[in-house]
Structure 1
């Protein structure tokens, strides 16, 4: 993924520096560049003793955060070598070679940053947030986290009323990409309360989280960290594999969405951005392959109509365990369809004013949907679907009648 991001980042940066985007798009381009230049920020939160450190160790496949750490904020990030930086109460920073060592942690440390050479950390950081102290302090920590976190993993044994009040302050756009994790699920199962707890939390999860995952964290970390070989059966049965894969999907989906939006901006306003940053080395001459015959404008319109018809059924598909499609999923699909439609219509030749009008409308619709994605609510999803339906009607009116009959 990194190799795919780098050229997009260079081109976007060059276009922003040359102010090739209209004013209303410049700020969005800057925001996209910021997202693409840094790892996805995954906050692992919960009350003391909720299994946050163990869960991070499970994700990394090695024990890096010691148990009993009292430091409120511990960030695990990529770096050129393994080292730890402590931020102290008086504002000073203390840097040490090697990892976190409970015996050597400064007593007045308020934050630690552990850098590892793990290449996976170029894609996402993990930040452990301990919700210590009284409710007011806990709420201030939650409010701080939502200012920078992309995904939150909330660790809990029961997600009781106090935790629910804290979570209620999290913006919906973060809730939609966040997970509730019932840690120590094996212990709850032994007490005979796990299934009852899961059922009690289902209504909350359906409204407040992307998904709920019960994890036998000790079993999961043993499966990944003991010896050189992954114990796949234990990794799967612990629930760790399902959570890990779901989290990585969210990380990758966010990266892909940012890249798609950046490419759309570049294609629309700075199609020459690649020329500004790339020096193309001429290839030796080679025999030219015969070009396929260009499609007629009617054929392109017919293909566009078929694209919209075949995509219609996918808009309202739901993920496993969801009763109805989520607005952000519908918006993501609409943006993908609109982008594909706009690119398809550009294959048509110029000179047909009627077709050029459709091309312009498709491009404007794709741009509008990018704005809808910022809202991420039900109204925005309805507006995006409505735009696609309007485009479908506009294109259908221009497709020759015999082509419409063939497509049904």
Structure 2
């Protein structure tokens, strides 16, 4: 989101300024530098699994690369965002070849053992991809997983037919890989019930990219949530040492440029979901009004606002019809949730007033959709 990216950049700039303050203790400077490094670093996503599981095609799709790159034999590689396309190849004898552009067939014909690739593809902004290539033996896979574990923040296990062999391999993988991991089924069989070893399960066709959009949307949400947590920690540090934290300013309400579909012109399922969201927003406003009148402390009130927007965002995200027919409304709830969290980070009476105004704006937007 544009707003979150702006707050992220401003917070990072504040951390860098604080790190250069000679008055900070060595411990405080180390904490500041560590947080700055975490905010500046991309989220590292690993593509793991047996040979033939479609990892290369998913790499090309997630990385915004030419589709034909996903059909060529590739070694283990790292793909990062950069201003220009560039490839650094390591050969089996330890020598290196550096070339402009993405890997070419001539370069791959020299059987490199590892590639470091940069690409200006927008899909790579804020993230990097690691493709782990092994043979099908358990020993090679275990060695590869051990090597990849400290290089990943989020793991995607790609599988054509998730079975006992792969399950045993995954259960024996380093613990840190299990913290954030998804199962990506790439075969022709329908998705099975959720496997408890993973945070989520997706069915994707590497050949057609069918099912890729929900996976990308989930990755975006996970990355946004992780970024917000880092921003929260960074702003707490800035506040502790008296450094100015980015001020959150609510954008003025503007009329949408496009015509909003009237509920009567929406498909029945979308109209029902819109009505449910309207009632949820109305009830939330009434509940929060009662909470405000009860004279609760600021922390309780901020918690109430944050939980309200989180619930509304979850409802909109789970309603596929709203995502399809009213994407601007679904995006509104996501942005409101981010704003509520950031307002809580700042704290104070003014921010409570902003949170109340934010809920009013959301209610007005939903009412506008209902009455359009």
Common topology (TM > 0.5): yes
- Structure 1: runs of 5 or more not aligned: 189-193, 221-237, 275-297, 323-332, 349-408
Report the alpha carbon displacement of residue 218 of structure 1 after superposing the two structures with TM.
1.4
From 143, 158, 163, the equivalent of 2:161 is: 158
Report the alpha carbon displacement of residue 27 of structure 1 after superposing the two structures with TM.
4.6
Q: Is the 8 A contact 1:47 1:156 kept in 2?
A: yes
> Partner residue of 2:131?
128
| Residues 337, 249 of structure 1: alpha-carbon distance in 2 compared, 3 angstrom cutoff | closer
| Residues 179, 347 of structure 1: alpha-carbon distance in 2 compared, 3 angstrom cutoff | closer
Report the alpha carbon displacement of residue 106 of structure 1 after superposing the two structures with TM.
4.8
| Residues 318, 12 of structure 1: alpha-carbon distance in 2 compared, 3 angstrom cutoff | closer
Aligned to 1:147, what secondary structure does the other structure show? helix
Q: Is the 8 A contact 2:18 2:243 kept in 1?
A: no
> Partner residue of 1:400?
none
From 67, 70, 87, the equivalent of 1:63 is: 67
Aligned to 2:207, what secondary structure does the other structure show? helix
Q: Is the 8 A contact 2:344 2:351 kept in 1?
A: no
| Residues 64, 253 of structure 1: alpha-carbon distance in 2 compared, 3 angstrom cutoff | farther
Aligned to 2:169, what secondary structure does the other structure show? helix
Pairing of 1:204-219 with structure 2 (within 5 A): 205=195, 207-219=196-208
Q: Does 1:268 align with 2:267?
A: no
Q: Is the 8 A contact 1:142 1:166 kept in 2?
A: no
1:307-340 deviation per Cα after TM superposition (whole angstroms, max 9, x unaligned): 4456568899997999xxxxxxxxxx9xx87982
> Partner residue of 1:254?
226
Aligned to 1:306, what secondary structure does the other structure show? helix
Q: Is the 8 A contact 1:181 1:214 kept in 2?
A: yes
> Partner residue of 1:191?
none
Q: Does 1:306 align with 2:304?
A: no
| Residues 18, 165 of structure 1: alpha-carbon distance in 2 compared, 3 angstrom cutoff | farther
Distance 1:338 1:255 in 2: 12
Q: Is the 8 A contact 1:156 1:183 kept in 2?
A: yes
Aligned to 2:216, what secondary structure does the other structure show? helix
TM-score, normalised by the number of residues in structure 1: 0.59
Q: Does 1:110 align with 2:113?
A: yes
Q: Is the 8 A contact 1:64 1:99 kept in 2?
A: no
Report the alpha carbon displacement of residue 128 of structure 1 after superposing the two structures with TM.
0.9
> Partner residue of 2:256?
none
Distance 1:245 1:337 in 2: 21
Q: Is the 8 A contact 2:181 2:199 kept in 1?
A: yes
1:72-123 deviation per Cα after TM superposition (whole angstroms, max 9, x unaligned): x122222222221101223322012222223431534111122212133231
Q: Is the 8 A contact 2:204 2:211 kept in 1?
A: yes
TM-score, normalised by the number of residues in structure 2: 0.64
Q: Is the 8 A contact 2:58 2:70 kept in 1?
A: no
Pairing of 1:167-206 with structure 2 (within 5 A): 167-170=170-173, 174-184=177-187, 187-188=188-189, 194=190, 198-199=192-193, 202=194, 205=195
| Residues 266, 64 of structure 1: alpha-carbon distance in 2 compared, 3 angstrom cutoff | farther
Report the alpha carbon displacement of residue 239 of structure 1 after superposing the two structures with TM.
1.2
Aligned to 1:65, what secondary structure does the other structure show? helix
Aligned to 1:113, what secondary structure does the other structure show? strand
Q: Is the 8 A contact 2:74 2:108 kept in 1?
A: no
Aligned to 1:130, what secondary structure does the other structure show? coil
Aligned to 1:208, what secondary structure does the other structure show? coil
- Structure 2: runs of 5 or more not aligned: 247-292, 319-336, 353-372
Distance 2:92 2:137 in 1: 19
1:228-259 deviation per Cα after TM superposition (whole angstroms, max 9, x unaligned): xxxxxxxxxx2111111111111222222212
Q: Is the 8 A contact 2:232 2:345 kept in 1?
A: no
> Partner residue of 1:241?
213
Aligned residues: 281
Distance 2:310 2:97 in 1: 52
Q: Does 1:340 align with 2:340?
A: no
- Let me know the Cα RMSD of the aligned residues: 3.7
> Partner residue of 1:143?
146
Report the alpha carbon displacement of residue 141 of structure 1 after superposing the two structures with TM.
1.4
Report the alpha carbon displacement of residue 170 of structure 1 after superposing the two structures with TM.
4.4
Distance 1:245 1:3 in 2: 20
| Residues 64, 145 of structure 1: alpha-carbon distance in 2 compared, 3 angstrom cutoff | farther
Q: Is the 8 A contact 1:41 1:148 kept in 2?
A: yes
| Residues 141, 310 of structure 1: alpha-carbon distance in 2 compared, 3 angstrom cutoff | same
> Partner residue of 1:231?
none
